């Protein structure tokens, strides 16, 4: 089994951190500043029974300048070319305009979209259900999976769920 997975989400939700966690080396540039990752970077995770090819994107967000416009296009173009789309959000933040912008871009996507709630190490567990309720009616998500990309919590489960769609 082998397939492509793209990670989209507002700046700073942890896309590059997730990539680095699963690939195990610093292939994507990480920073507290948004938009450090300017192009799609691929990382390949090879397990005994599956190969995951991850595409880290600059994120889909309303462009403020020409380069931003290009970056959004790069991210958008990958959505219909992959097996699974990971839409990542920050567990500390509620639904926002940035998410709305991204979900609008997902309307014509037929591939399975996973809602990934990242940074669960930073929130109390009883905050999760209200957050899930806020998002779950806004799109027909294939799976909703809370993780910590930094600490690795529930990442194995996420990979197992992805594997079933490759």
* Closest C-alpha to 73, from 57, 84, 53: 57
| 58 marked as binding residue | yes
Q: Does 16 bind Mg ion (CB under 5 A)?
A: yes
Kindly state the greatest CA–CA separation across the chain: 43
Site string for ligand GDP, 23-42 (x = CB under 6 A): -------xxx-x--x-----
Residues 25-54 that bind Mg ion (CB under 5 A): 37
DSSP lists the bridge partners of residue 118 as: 90
Beta-strand pair 113-118/41-46:
unpaired
Annotated binding-site residue? 110: no
Q: Interface residues for ligand GDP in 81-100 (CB under 6 A)? A: none
60 labelled as ligand-binding? yes
Consult the annotation and say whether 16 binds a ligand.
yes
Q: Classify residue 45 as left (phi > 0), alpha (psi -120 to 50) or beta.
A: beta
Q: Which residues bind Mg ion (CB under 5 A)?
A: 15-16, 37
């Amino acid at each position: 089994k082998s397939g492509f997975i793209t990670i989209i989400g507002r700046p700073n939700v942890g896309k590059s951190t997730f990539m680095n966690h699963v690939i195990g080396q610093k292939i994507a540039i990480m920073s507290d500043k948004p938009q450090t990752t300017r192009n799609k970077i691929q990382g390949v995770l090879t397990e005994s029974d599956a190969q995951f090819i991850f595409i880290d994107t600059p994120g889909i967000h309303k462009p403020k300048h020409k380069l931003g416009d290009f970056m959004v296009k790069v991210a958008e173009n990958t959505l219909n070319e992959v097996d699974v789309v990971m839409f990542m959000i920050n567990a500390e933040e509620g639904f926002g305009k940035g998410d709305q912008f991204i979900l609008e871009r997902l309307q014509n996507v037929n591939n399975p979209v996973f809602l990934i709630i990242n940074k669960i190490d930073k929130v109390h567990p009883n905050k999760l259900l209200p957050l899930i309720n806020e998002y779950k009616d806004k799109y027909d998500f294939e799976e909703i999976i809370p993780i910590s990309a930094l600490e690795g919590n529930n990442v194995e489960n996420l990979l197992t769920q992805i594997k079933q769609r490759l």
